[in-house]
Amino acid sequence: MLRYLVRRIFYAGPILLGVCLATFALFYLSVSPEQMARRNISAKNPTQAQIRDWLVARGYDKPLQEQFTRHARSLFLLDFGKSDSTGEPIAQRLRQGAVPSLIVGSGVLFGSVGASVILALFVAAFRGTYVDRWATVLCVAGMSVTVLVFIIAGQYLFGKLLVWFPLAGYQSGIGGLRFAVLPILVGVASALGANVRFYRTVILDEMGKDYVRTARAKGVSEPRVLFVHVLKNAAIPILTSFVLSLPFVVTGSLLLESFFGIPGIGSYMVDAIDGQDFAVVRAMVFLGTVLYLVGAVLTDVSYALVDPRVRLE
């Protein structure tokens, strides 16, 4: 186990280096600092002096090697520096945003996996019947509606017409949870189509395997076949998709947070895009990458927990 972790960290090095180079090329070589400054300074026609000041204040006037060191530092040590537009430390904003993002993000993640797996099991139990056929059509239909429409319609229906939940906003503490309900519901609903379809395929795949027939031949009841035998084997692909979406629990859903006015990391990113804040966008890309790599390790660990055939070597 320890050896496995050490090796994984060792492997992550070159990948992080690659990400570092690719993002450096993207953020520093494909736009000149001057362009950055022009887009960031709010004045219509900034003077040369204004641009110079802006560049000096944010350290974009330094030679390229030095910029690269700073860039690499922020990726490897997660030392993000200061925002280009407001000048406040990015790490502080990320810490503030983490809790709201975590609440909404984990709600969406657990809610959608739970709901999708249950629905998929239900649909799989009715395989080959009209229930199954129409459920599949519904899933494809759900996949074909953009998230935006889910959000706008959800907000309109539950927030404005029925007034079950507040339209938008956020409050810390237990009372604030009611603000999280609608975004979570909308997030779960928008992911349902694709998830149910995927899990259904996974589950049906497992149901066609020989061990299911063996279990039935032993006289095991159908619910037991589904919930014990099939689900345990279907857990691996389900876990993969679960862990792969872990980074978004922290980075938050950009759209959900910005629509519902939740002051999480996601809406910080959306604000940064609006404010042409390069430093924040960079920081978010790094954060996402590191979380992704951590998630990959977690996936392997969880495989080993679920599947006795997998050994972490």
Partner 1 sequence: MILADCLAGLVVAACALALIHMLRSPLWSRAVSGFRRRPGAMFAVAVLGLYSLVAIADSFVLPARAGQPPETILDKLFARPQERTYSAPLAERTSEATPQPLLGRHILGTDGLGNDVLYRTLKGVRTAFLIGGATTLLVLPLALIFGLLAGYFGRWVDDAVQYVYTVFDSIPNILLLIAIMFVLGQGLLQMCLALGLTSWIGLCRIVRGETLKLRERGYVTSARALGYGSGRIIVRHILPNLLPILIIYATLSFSRLVLAEVILSYLQVGVPEYVGSWGNMIDAARLELTREPVIWWNLASATVAIFLLVFSLNVISDELRDGIDPSLRGA
Partner 2 sequence: MSVLEVVGLRTLLRVESAEAPVVDDVSFSISPGRTLGLVGESGCGKSMVAQSVMQLLPPPARIVAGEVMLEGRDLLGLRPAQMRDVRGRRMGMIFQNPMEALNPTLTVGYQIRESIFAHGRGVGRELRSRTLQMLREVEIEDAEGVAAKYPHELSGGMRQRVAIAMALANRPAALIADEPTTALDATVQAAILRLITRLQREMGLAVLLISHDLGVVNEAADDVAVMYLGQIVESGPVDDVLASPAHPYTQALFASRASGLSRTRRLATIEGVAPDAGSWPSGCRFHPRCACAQEICRTIAPGEVGEGSRRALCHFAKLGAGNAK
What does the block give as tokens for 247? Answer: 């980074």
Among 91, 147, 181, 231, binds partner 1 (CB under 8 A): 147
**Backbone phi, then psi, for 32, in 5-degree steps?**
-85, 150
Among 41, 138, 143, 301, binds partner 1 (CB under 8 A): 143
Stretch binding partner 1 (CB under 8 A), from 45-53, 97-105, 107-115, 276-284: 276-284
CA-closest candidate to residue 113, choices 233, 228, 252, 237: 237
Alpha helices by DSSP H, listed for the chain, are: 2-24, 33-40, 48-57, 64-76, 90-125, 130-143, 147-154, 177-207, 210-217, 222-224, 231-244, 246-251, 254-260, 265-274, 278-306
Q: Which amino acid type is present at position 56?
A: V
d(CA 44, CA 287): 33
> C-beta of 297: minimal distance to partner 1 in Å?
12
Among 9, 15, 57, 177, binds partner 1 (CB under 8 A): 15
**List 3, 14, 173, 210, residue binding partner 2 (CB under 8 A):** 210
93 lies in the binding site for partner 1 (CB under 8 A) = no
Q: Is 30 in the site for partner 1 (CB under 8 A)?
A: yes
Q: Which stretch binds partner 2 (CB under 8 A): 51-59, 111-119, 173-181, 225-233?
A: 225-233
Which of partner 1, partner 2, none interacts with 108 (beta carbon under 5 to 8 A by kind)?
none
Which residue among 16, 102, 168, 306 contacts partner 2 (CB under 8 A)?
306
Residue of 100, 146, 29, 119 lying closest to 266 (CA atoms): 100
- Residue 130 binds partner 2 (CB under 8 A): no
Q: Which residue in 86, 201, 240, 241 binds partner 1 (CB under 8 A)?
A: 201
- What does 300 bind: partner 2, partner 1, none (CB cut-off 5 to 8 Å by kind)? none
Question: CB of 30: closest distance to partner 1 in angstroms?
Answer: 6
**What does the H/E/C string look like for 154-205?**
HHHHHHHHCCCCCCCCCCCCHHHHHHHHHHHHHHHHHHHHHHHHHHHHHHHH
